[in-house]
Amino acid sequence: MSRRLFGTDGIRGVAGDPPLDPRTVHAVGVALGKWAREANGGEVEDAPEVVIGLDTRESGPWLAAQVAGGLKRSGVKARFAGIITTPGIAYLARIGAYIAGVMISASHNPYYDNGIKIIDSAGYKLADSIEEHLEELMFEWLDSGEEPVTEALIADSGLDHLYSDYLASTIHGSLPFHLVVDCANGSATAVAPELFQRLGAKIDLIGNAPDGRNINLDCGSLHLDALRKRVLETGADAGVAFDGDADRALFVSHSGKIIDGDAVLFLAGSAMKRAGKLAGDAVVATVMSNLGLEKAFESLSIALLRTPVGDKYVLEEMLKRGATLGGEQSGHIILTEYATTGDGILTALRVFEILHDSKKTLDDLTDEIRTFPQKLVNVRVKQKRPLEELAQVQQEIQAAEREFAGAGRIVVRFSGTEPLARVMIEASSEESVNKWTARIADAIRHELGAIEG
């Protein structure tokens, strides 16, 4: 049975429209509550609890109130952490007496989107089979005709302090750097500034004035120009940018060089190998990671294992192989010694710790990576059909592969959360990259129809 509401990262859409309309969101709470009761043996006393958090979008509070109302209808209590990061909710779900955690966020998407991510009591995203069961329970309630009722929520400030205290405990000593920190007007604003200052850093803040509608707007990990400009203006040692729910981080060096997730994997992987902490001398990444990372790891006898795009798949492969480091070029970095999910703030702490211990700069630590020219084109499509059924697209892909003769890579896939076809080309020259991204993207537009704008 395939899932109808849950995607690769929970339920996501435009807040207020299906599947994020009030009744469906309430149904999430009802279903999660019923599942929690089942998992708790159905007992009336000692009702299980679910911890709820959100990012800074204006729709977050009413969505959280609907989920909490649905939980109450099923006899389950809700604890509210207020504004917190997604990995913060994963941490609380893991260490607290909760049956699950719920994060209200659409990560790097615009403010008008939102989403519901459910995390189990071990701190991991739910298995597909559990999400399928939740959908059955949701549709069962939706068919009942009952009306949703919200539950008022009051944030427990002690919960986000538990998380920030844990992050601080992973650093031994201080981080005496001058840093520029871009909080993306999102969840990081509630945690990162105080934490970095507590650890001895001098910080300049940008993207730290959320108003409900400016999350990710020209700031954060998708928009690094402002961060780079501020680093260069202030002469800071480095800059870090988070996304809306702070589960990813990207960096800018003192010289203005962009340090993406591949570079972070390299400097973390090489440091962990030197310290004897890189299990199996292997790092897990996705098909989007650059060939340059693979070549740089080869020189250190580190294997790069690839998965489909998505931190969920990276984590699955890490757990399967017992790997201790994995991540994505986009900045999701998973360090299983410390966390069960990608955590942007934790990643930043590890990066700055490596800088401090090595007495080197980000430029020094990443200069061994030769990045192959790479381009990603997003085509907003009217429909999604199996790529193997698209004859023209397949013809262009095969023609590109013949020309590359093993010296390039082609990745064509659909987004799991948006109506997008993504075309990524990697080759030895910019000319080849531009030529084949354009040809394959045009073939997709021709066969699937493109949405302008």
β-pair type (113-120, 11-14): antiparallel
Catalytic hit among 107, 221, 289, 432: 107
Integer Cα distance of 348 and 342 in angstroms = 11
What whole-number distance in Å separates Cα of residue 384 and Cα of residue 74?
36
d(CA 193, CA 345): 10
CA pair distance 424, 411, nearest whole angstrom: 5
- The identity of residue 419, as a single letter, is P
Describe the crossing of helices 128-142 and 22-39 by its angle, rounded to 10 degrees.
120
| Sequence-distant (≥ 6) Cβ neighbours of residue 305 within 8 angstroms | 282, 283, 284, 285, 317, 321, 323
Q: How many residues does the chain have?
A: 453
Q: How far apart are CA 449 and CA 354, in angstroms?
A: 47
For residue 25, what are its two tokens? 């969101």
CA diameter of the chain: 67
Q: Classify residue 74 as left (phi > 0), alpha (psi -120 to 50) or beta.
A: alpha
d(CA 95, CA 159): 11
Q: What are residue 135's phi and psi, to 5 degrees?
A: -60, -40
Question: Could you report how far apart the first and last alpha carbons of the chain are, in Å?
Answer: 34
Report H helices in 49-99. 60-73, 86-95
Q: Report the amino acid identity of residue 257.
A: K
Residue 389's H or E segment, with its range, is none
The answer to whether 107 is a known catalytic residue is yes
The residues carrying an active-site annotation are 107
